[in-house]
Amino acid sequence: MLSETQAAERAADLVRAATKAGATAADAMIGISRSSGISVRLGAIEDIDHSEGFEVGLRLFVGQRSATVSSASIDPAGFAELAERAHAMAVEAPEDPYAGLADPDLLGRDSAPDLDLVDDSAPALSLLEQRARSAEEAARAVAGVTNSNGASAGLGQSLVALATSAGFAHATRGSQHSISASVVAGEAGSLQRDYAAHSTRHFADLDDPEQIGRLAGERAVARLDPVRPPSGTCPIIFDPRVASTLLGHLVAAITGSAIARKTSFLLDALGTQLFAPGIIVRDDPLRRRGLRSRAFDGEGLPCRPLDIVADGILTSWLAASADARQLGIRPTGHAGRSVGGSPGAGPSNLMLMPGAKSREDLLASVPRAILVTELIGQGVNPVTGDYSRGAAGFLVENGKVGAAVAEITIAGNLKDMFRSLEPASDLELRRGMDAPTLLIPEMTVASA
């Protein structure tokens, strides 16, 4: 794998090739990835994989016309041809008054902070196999587990470089380690499945395989013999496993593209009380070892922590440069992109900050509720905020988690849900988007 310096210089070489081909501006990305993994099922190896990927992407501008091309080769010998192809496409493209690179004055010029994203340890395949076996054995040892979907362990490394004709050039390396298990409980006619998984930047931060396996098995067994509650209105408690999906709906509604196209139910929400006082939604791209941490965004702007929601008030859109120009605002440093794609806005490490009540106290704060641990389908209207999704989970009565619940639909409107939700204090930073247990005092429940 290239070094960071070599990758950044190679991306800059492609930008120079674009300029030579006639571009008025250009940016280039290089992506290199390597991963290995092993999966087992019922005690036998099911799959071993190793992959390496190479990709280069070029976004070339001729005035306000642009084109994006990509290639699976990072060999500089092919850069001139790639640039000429992009130029030929760009001159035929329609003009876009908002197209262009980020303002050079906004680009990151300082050295990147050390975010500790790389673990150079490379566990042997035999150790990955041992960990996958340990996870599955622990899951199958849980009483009531009757079958296995398998367990897996893996690792990967990546290198991404970005260079622009405005003088920005930077590369970032990252590593990732993972463990997962999925099992089935019950007998034919009454089967339930569930899983557990964990991913980290550093191998030493991974949960023990036995812990992952036991959790997968216990979750599957707990879902046996589900009941269907009566239809009506009911408090809904979102388990952290699914609570973060509400942040996903928030993000989709506040990206610059949704606002510029007027396809968001939050068009007029900026600066208003969207959540209850005290609620904070924070984006932290500089978290050490964070799964989505980054020093610079996909356009070369420096990334900084931001409370997108502060004291319940929506403080900012998330906008890349093109959408920011259309909205008449500054880009927010949230541009993300694939190697072969154009920038689009999105968060880094996003979290809804914890509340004052423990999870136990939050569950006990209502006499009867449904604890949702799984959501099914994508029933959200981005224009109106209407929300309707299949769900499964557990009945909660007087703070005690009871019988499993399945085949229900929960419905409401995201504005009402945001305004009324209450977070517990059990926030754990395990993914790129995290939330604690969340209580929404009233939603509509329909049994299938």
Tens digit of each residue's pLDDT (9 = 90 or more) over 301-326: 999 999 999 999 999 999 999 999 99
Dist. CA 430–CA 292, nearest whole Å: 11
Q: Are 137 and 162 in contact (CB under 8 A)?
A: no
Cα-atom radius of gyration of the chain, to the nearest Å? 24
For residue 344, list its beta bridge partners: 336
How many CB atoms within 10 Å of residue 174? 19
Map out the domains of the chain as residue ranges: 4-221, 226-245+354-447, 265-348
Banded pLDDT at 35 (limits 50, 70, 90): very high
Closest CA to 294 of 392, 402, 397, 432: 432
What pLDDT is recorded for position 9? 97
Please enumerate in sequence order all residues whose Cβ is within 8 A of that of 199, keeping only pairs 6 or more positions apart, or say none: 176, 177, 178, 291, 431
Count CB-CB contacts under 10 A for residue 382: 15
Please give the class, per CATH, of domain 4-221.
alpha beta
Q: pLDDT tens-digit profile of 56-85?
A: 999 999 999 999 999 999 999 999 999 999
d(CA 224, CA 217): 12
Helices (H) and strands (E) in the chain, counts: 9, 19
pLDDT in tens, 169-216: 999 999 999 999 999 999 988 899 999 999 999 999 999 999 999 999
pLDDT at 379: 87
Say which DSSP state 205 is in. Answer: G
pLDDT for 109 equals: 84
Q: Give the C-alpha separation, 267 to 383, whole Å.
A: 9
Cα angle vertex 226, ends 224, 227, to 5°? 160
pLDDT band, very low/low/confident/very high, at 448 (cuts 50, 70, 90): low
pTM of the full predicted structure?
0.95
Ranges 18-27, 174-183, 185-194, 349-358: which has the least confidence? 185-194
- Candidates 172, 189, 40, 45; CA nearest to 114 is 172
What's the confidence (pLDDT) of residue 111? 84
Question: Residues 405-422: what's their mean pLDDT?
Answer: 97
Q: Who contacts 282 (Cβ-Cβ below 8 Å, separation ≥6)? A: 305, 306, 307, 308, 350, 351, 353
pLDDT at 56: 97
Tokens found for residue 279: 């609620």
Strands 335-336 and 65-71: unpaired
